[in-house]
Structures are given as C-alpha cells and as structure tokens.
Structure 1
C-alpha cells in the first residue's frame, strides 16, 4: 500500500506549526486530518465535493456564521 502524501496547511505559522489541518489526495478522494492527532479519524470527501466544502467554509468565515 502506498503511503499518503499529507500536506500541511500553508496558514501554519512557525509558532503554531502543529495546530493545523493536513490534506492528502487519495485518488478519487481528498482526506483531511488534525496535525495534532494524525493517527485518529480523518474526514474524507469525493474529489468533486472538496471545492464546494472549502467554499462553504470560506463563506461561513466571511459571514461569521
């Protein structure tokens, strides 16, 4: 089994490097995990649903919802 290529959020600063989200592309899916607890559960989305998920997060941040 191939090892996942987890990438850390670009918003992680040097002082907060372990308090972020990591993302891995897994073929037809995108997975997210908490960098503080990488061996616990992940959120997994079909690739086509990931962009709408991010857009919803950005909208909620912009509107304060």
Structure 2
C-alpha cells in the first residue's frame, strides 16, 4: 500500500453509490494500473493493482 496523492488524477466511484455520504470505494486509472481507496478516508492508504491483478479482482468479485 502507498499513501495517496490525489491531486493530479480523478477518482471515480460507482453511480450506484448514491448520495449517502462516503460509504464506498473510489478508483482511479493511472496509466500503470488501478488504485483503490476508501471514500471516507481520502488521505488514507491506497491499494495499487496492475492491470492483470485488477482484471482478476473484478472477475472474482462478480462471481
């Protein structure tokens, strides 16, 4: 995990999140892979995935 510097790339969250505050995760695509963070803790830790790791994570999540 690395710390977050979110000043230069846009974080995105699902449109299914609604407007209930920050109760979801946010992702951003940085050219080398995907980063994921907790929307309630924007300055907290960030998970980094390579493109292959992200594809596997998403595939296993939707099973």
- TM-score normalised to structure 2 length: 0.77
Partner of 1:7: 12
Q: Distance in 2 between matches of 1:9 and 1:43?
A: 17
Corresponding residue SS for 1:39: coil
Q: Structure 2: any 5+ residue segments left out of the alignment?
A: 1-6
Any residues of structure 2 matched to 1:38-49 within 5 Å, and which? 38-49=42-53
- The Cα shift of 1:11 comes to 1.8
- The Cα shift of 1:48 comes to 2.0
Partner of 1:50: 54
- TM-score normalised to structure 1 length: 0.75
Selected match of 2:27 from 20, 23, 27: 23
| Higher helix proportion | 1
Larger Rg: 1
Q: Structure 1: any 5+ residue segments left out of the alignment?
A: 60-65
